[in-house]
Amino acid sequence: EREIDLIEEIARLYGYDNFCDDLPDKTEPGYLSIEEQLTRQLREAFRAAGLTELVHYSLVKPDNEKQISLINPLFTEYSALRTDLLSGLIDAFQYNLEQGNEALNGFEIGRIFWKEEEGLEEADAIAGIIGGDPTQGRWVKGGRPSPMTWYEAKGVLESVFQRLNLKVEYQPTRQDERFHPGRTASLWFQGDRLGNFGQLHPQLRQERGLPDAVYAFDLDLDVLLDALDQDERLTPRFQAYSTYPASDRDIAFFAPVKVSVAEIERATQKAAGTLLQSIELFDEYQGESVPAGQRSLAFRLIYRASDRTLTDEEVEPVHQKVREALVEKFGVSLRS
C-alpha cells in the first residue's frame, strides 16, 4: 500500500547481502559561519564602547496593526511578536530608573516580526539606548553628574563604526515619531539605509519620566553584516602614516540650521582634496548674537602631506577654496 513497502520487497528479493557496506564520512571539526563571526565582532565592538548587552522576550503587548498576534497565547499581555527592539530598550531604561539605578547604556541584537500585504515578514535588527554619564566616576567633571550631549552619544556609535572600519554618513530625518524631530539622523552606508540615531522625543520622555539626555539607535543587522562581509574589511591592511608635521586651520561661520554638519564635512572634504587629513567640529552655539534661523559652527581642519612638510603657500589656497565652497553652496557667513 505504501511506497516504502514496495522498496522493502524489492530489497528482500534482491538480497540484503548484495548491498555494499560504507562507513560514514569522518566527522569534520565544527566551525562558525561568517554571519555568526561578524555578529560576535559586533557584540565585542558595542561592549568595548561601554554598552551592556540586553535580552528581551520576543512576545510583547499588542498595540498596533503591524504586529503578528498569537492564536493561542499563554498570557494576553504577551500575545504579539515585537516589531522592533527599541520599544523594549525604552521600557528597560524606564524600569531601571524606577528601581533607583543609574541611567542605562545598553544594546540588543534580535529578530523582529511584522505584517505586510503580501504576508508575514521577519528580520534581524540591532538597537541601543544611551543615557548614562560617560565619565562613570565623574572625577573629570568635579564629581557632578553631567548629561550626555548629542555629540557624545554619537561618538559612542562612531567609535563602534570606527572599530569595524565603516564610514557611515548621517542625514537629517523625521520618519520615526519616537525621536526628536530636530535631533535625529538617518544612517547610510554606500547608498544603503542602515538605520536611525537620535535623541528621544520630548513628549515620549515626559510620558515615561525619562531624563532629557536619552539617545537611541535602531539599525538593520542584515545591512550591517553585508557591509562587514567584504574583503577589505575582513582583511586588516596597514595604511602608512606620514612622518611629516601637520598644518591645522580653524574656520568659523554662521550656517543655516537646516544644513547638517555631515553636508558641511562632505563639501569641505571635496573642496580641500587629498591634502585634508581630517575635519572636526569643536564648537556649536545657538542663542544670543547668532542670527535667527542660524547657528555658529567652528571646525578644525588638519592638512598633511605624506612626502613633504606643507608650507603656508600650499595650505592657504586650499583653505581659501574651502571657504569659497561653503559660502557658495550653503550661504554661510564667515567669522574667521
64 confidence band (pLDDT: 50, 70, 90): confident
Torsion of CA 173, 40, 233, 276, to 10 degrees: 50
Q: Provide the pLDDT for residue 100.
A: 86
Selection from 101, 217, 241 nearest residue 153 by Cα: 217
Span 1-14, average pLDDT: 89
Distance CA 192, CA 288 (A): 39
Question: Where in the chain are all domains bearing CATH 3.30.930.10?
Answer: 34-234
What DSSP designation does 148 have? P
Through-space distance between the first and last CA atoms of the chain, rounded to whole angstroms: 92
Q: Provide the pLDDT for residue 330.
A: 92
Residues in the chain: 336
Q: Provide the pLDDT for residue 335.
A: 84
> At 65, which amino acid appears?
E
Residue 143 has pLDDT above 70, yes or no: no
C-alpha cell at 308: 613633504
Residue 254 has pLDDT above 90, yes or no: yes
Q: Provide the pLDDT for residue 173.
A: 85
* Per-residue model confidence as pLDDT tens digits over 171-184: 888 888 899 988 89
Question: Where in the chain are all domains bearing CATH 3.30.70.380?
Answer: 247-334
Q: Provide the pLDDT for residue 110.
A: 94
Q: Provide the pLDDT for residue 231.
A: 56
pTM greater than 0.85 = no
Span 61-81, average pLDDT: 88
Whole-number percent of the chain with pLDDT over 90: 49
Average per-residue pLDDT for the chain: 87
Q: Provide the pLDDT for residue 267.
A: 94
The answer to whether 98 touches 77, Cβ cutoff 8 Å, is no
Q: Provide the pLDDT for residue 85.
A: 94
Whole-number percent of the chain with pLDDT over 70: 93
Q: Provide the pLDDT for residue 172.
A: 83
Question: Whose grid coordinates read 513497502?
Answer: 5
The answer to whether 43 touches 24, Cβ cutoff 8 Å, is no
9-13, 17-21, 313-317 — which is least confidently predicted?
Answer: 17-21
Residue 232 has pLDDT above 70, yes or no: no
C-alpha cell at 12: 528482500
Measure Cα distances from 159 to 36, 43, 45, 164, 214 in Å.
21, 13, 8, 9, 18
Residue 296 has pLDDT above 60, yes or no: yes
**CATH code, residues 34-234:** 3.30.930.10
Distance CA 153, CA 262 (A): 16
* Per-residue model confidence as pLDDT tens digits over 144-167: 666 778 888 898 999 999 888 888
Domain 247-334, what fold?
Alpha-Beta Plaits (3.30.70)
* Per-residue model confidence as pLDDT tens digits over 102-138: 778 899 999 999 998 888 999 999 999 998 665 554 5
The answer to whether 63 touches 77, Cβ cutoff 8 Å, is no
